[in-house]
Amino acid sequence: MEYRNLGTSGLKVPVLCLGAMTFGEVDDKSFMHKVGCDDKTSFAIMSRALERGAGFIDTADVYGPDGSSERIVGNWMAETKNRDRVVLATKFRFRMGEGPNSTGASRYRIVRTVEESLRRLKTDRIDLYQIHMQDIDTPEEETLRALDDLVHAGKVLYLGASNYAAYRLTDSQWISKAEHLHRFVALQMQYSLMVRELEREHVPVCKKFGLGILPWSPLASGFLSGKYAKDQPPPAGVRLEKWKERFADYDSERGWRTIDAVKAIAKEKESTPSAISLAWLLAKPAVTSVIFGARSLEQLDDNLAAADVKLTDEDVKRLDDASALKLGYPYDFLGNIQKRW
């Protein structure tokens, strides 16, 4: 398993990160959208991932009822005594409980969410603590100062962001620099062959400020797994069978053109569509580690195969061209003028 520095920090992480959103039983209020696996299966998945070198686990306080995903990860680390072999990441921001201060990224809330996560995870520190989404109701400086205090206290080692607008991320980095605060070193965002909007502004921002990108939903909710066929309904039991609007977004000329290219390269390399799709992300600038989920050992092994796939520049270009995204204004205008002038 290849390791890379997380952005420009000194922390090294494997290029594949195990997402724990599917760990634990689910209910109607679950953030996990009724997609989960039991404790025993979750334990087996984490142990196998660690054996294969993917000792990087990402969870969040809202995954599962009352933080059940964090509890499962914490119980597994305690039972197997693997805490020091794992880079542990979790997130805060979304609602946990009732009342006006049970959501958001205020100092008042952060000092509570970190303690609650530490308790569930049965650990004395969180290696990468991430705000799950920007909070427009809280000044960015307030959030950053509270997080900086956690680093100084040793409860958190590195800071990251997720689901941020590019302008807010840029503002955050400049505040941290001007106020001498610990800054975000990672950005977790949706990124895949089907969702490439990140390339307009976020990728350049991350390259400029040295943030490592951690893509989530790298298989576009399973669309890139090779299970789907043009002019055919989604197979029974898959996520996109339930998420019809999302499937409709991918059920397009661009989507099937992309799938065809992925399958062709997978056949040439005697690999799988999932592995090829993940490997494409690992070939993109600023990407440090790709977050993937698994509800079974079979899914885990299929995704881990991406670490052994080596795409050529021509392979990447074929996938780039097949999944090309219309940049829209002003990006296409700027690009055309730049070429001419």
Q: Which of 32-46, 117-131, 239-253, 290-304 has the lowest mean pLDDT?
A: 239-253
The confidence score (pLDDT) of residue 34 equals: 60
For residue 281, which of 237, 323, 316 has the smallest C-alpha distance? 316
The one catalytic residue among 3, 63, 191, 329: 63
Over 70: is that where the pLDDT of 31 sits?
A: no
Over 90: is that where the pLDDT of 131 sits?
A: yes
Please state, in angstroms and rounded to a whole number, the distance separating the CA atoms of residues 8 and 265: 32
Residue of 291 and 249 predicted with greater confidence: 291
Please state, in angstroms and rounded to a whole number, the distance separating the CA atoms of residues 141 and 267: 50
Mean pLDDT of the chain: 93
Residue with tokens 């997402």: 19
- Condensed to tens digits (0 to 9), the pLDDT of residues 65-84 reads 889 999 999 999 999 999 99
Q: Supply the CATH number for residue 160's domain.
A: 3.20.20.100
- Condensed to tens digits (0 to 9), the pLDDT of residues 209-259 reads 999 999 999 999 889 998 887 877 776 666 655 566 777 788 899 999 999
Q: Is 313 helix (H, G, I), strand (E, B) or coil?
A: helix
The confidence score (pLDDT) of residue 239 equals: 63
DSSP for 19-53, please give it: E-TTBS---TT-TTTT--B-HHHHHHHHHHHHHTT
The confidence score (pLDDT) of residue 33 equals: 53
Range of the domain at 196: 3-340
Verify whether residue 329 is a known catalytic residue: no
* Number of domains composing the chain: 1
